[in-house]
Amino acid sequence: MQHVSEGLIAVLQEQILCAEAMLQTLGRENQALTKGDAEQLNAAGADKARLVETLDSLERQRRGLSDAVTAEVANAAAGAAHPDEWRQLLTLITECKQQNERNGALVKARSEQVRVALRTLRGTEPDLYGRSGLAPASADPRSLGTA
């Protein structure tokens, strides 16, 4: 049991390190999005993909070890033997999720800005309200080539 428990601690610690690296990568991604730095954004995206694969692999290992600990000690819950590491990992994963959601909101906002700019260039950006207080009927959009 000692060997399995030590293995579980080691995997949890690796997961914590990987989650910390993910949080840093998400921070870099956020900076790249804010600055519009495509090169840094691509690098952060590649790092993020690599870290997701590593976290998935470590999670499979952790589950296997947790199952082994549970099987060896009938009253031990998975992760309960080392609640500090487990809580730290869960906190980091929550922070990663929140940062990723903020980054997603930035991507969505940037995408909407591009859509508005393209509609304006194409002449398809409608006026908000006409004289009647209603949105005006849509005009024939012009392609960029005929603008």
Residue 51's closest CA among 80, 92, 85, 111?
92
The continuous run of DSSP H or E covering 49 comes out as helix 38-72
Give the model's pLDDT for residue 118.
86
DSSP class of 144: G
Buried b (16+ CB within 10 A) or exposed e, 97-106: eebbeebeee
- Cα–Cα distance between 61 and 69 in angstroms, integer? 12
Task: Please report the pLDDT score of residue 75 as a whole number.
Answer: 46
Q: How far apart are CA 90 and CA 112, in angstroms?
A: 33
- Topology, domain 2-126: Methane Monooxygenase Hydroxylase; Chain G, domain 1 (1.20.58)
User: Which secondary structure element, helix H or strand E, spans residue 76, and what is its range?
Assistant: none
What pLDDT sits at residue 76?
46
| Tens place of pLDDT per residue across the chain (147 aa) | 567 788 888 999 999 999 999 999 999 999 999 998 999 999 999 999 999 999 999 999 999 888 877 766 644 444 455 678 889 999 999 999 999 999 999 999 888 888 888 888 888 655 566 666 666 555 555 555 555
The pLDDT of residue 135 is 60
The CA distance from 136 to 128, in Å, is 8
The rounded distance, in Å, linking the Cα atoms of 5 and 81 is 8
